[in-house]
Amino acid sequence: MNKNVPTFERADVRTQNSLRLYVSRQASSLGRYLWEQLILTLFGWVPTLAGIGLRALVYRLIMRIEGVVAIERGVRIRFADQVRLARGVYLDEGVYLHACPGGIEIGENTLVMHHAELHVYNFRNLPHAGIRIGRDSLIGEFCLIRGPGGVTIGNRTYLSPAVHIYSSDHRFDDPERCFVDQEITAQGVTIEDECWIGAMVIILDGVTIGKGSVVAAGAVVAEDVPPHTLVAGVPARVVRDLRGQT
């Protein structure tokens, strides 16, 4: 920037740029930001069944809702136009949905429990970003799902409390450059139908967990898990085949 420009003008430009950056990471446009924040401010705090009923009706103005859903007070939503909730979805108090383009889709009768965070965080325009959750599933308390590389969770799959899922990773091959200046990988994570993920499990980018598998509490999953398999440990290793095979 020109050094002859007065300091207060340079500061004003920086402030404007910061505001534009902030809004761009909260909603699809300034107009959408103002509209979504108005709706969330007016109706997001209302307690009891009255609040749940109001939000089930009014939130249709800012997000895609199919059938009757239940949204408790204090649920935070960003990029609401990129969120789709199917019939019977329940969002508990303190849930945070950030659907930065790529979107969040939650299937029928799926429960997202209190203080779970579903965050797409697609600020690098990655092609497969998004979070997709099937029907009749459960996202437990304080779970964290990061979806820049794409996260798919199947039907009737349960995540116990404090499960972390990461669908991207930083490269650090060049020791002369800070890792934040290097590329990232974003292969995505898939958890197939009817899996049970134990409490405080960490699932890393590039992993597929096969249908009907169980991941023991505290495991760190860095490699694919075959279907109908129990895995445990750090890193997670196969303990046994759940179909009785050796």
Active-site positions?
170
CA atoms within 13 A on the CB side of 76: 11
CA gap 97, 119 in Å, rounded = 6
H or E element, residue 8: helix 7-24
Contact 140, 121 (CB under 8 A): no
CA gap 71, 52 in Å, rounded = 6
**Is the bond into 235 cis (omega within 30 degrees of 0)?**
yes
Residues forming beta bridges with residue 169, ordered by sequence position: 185
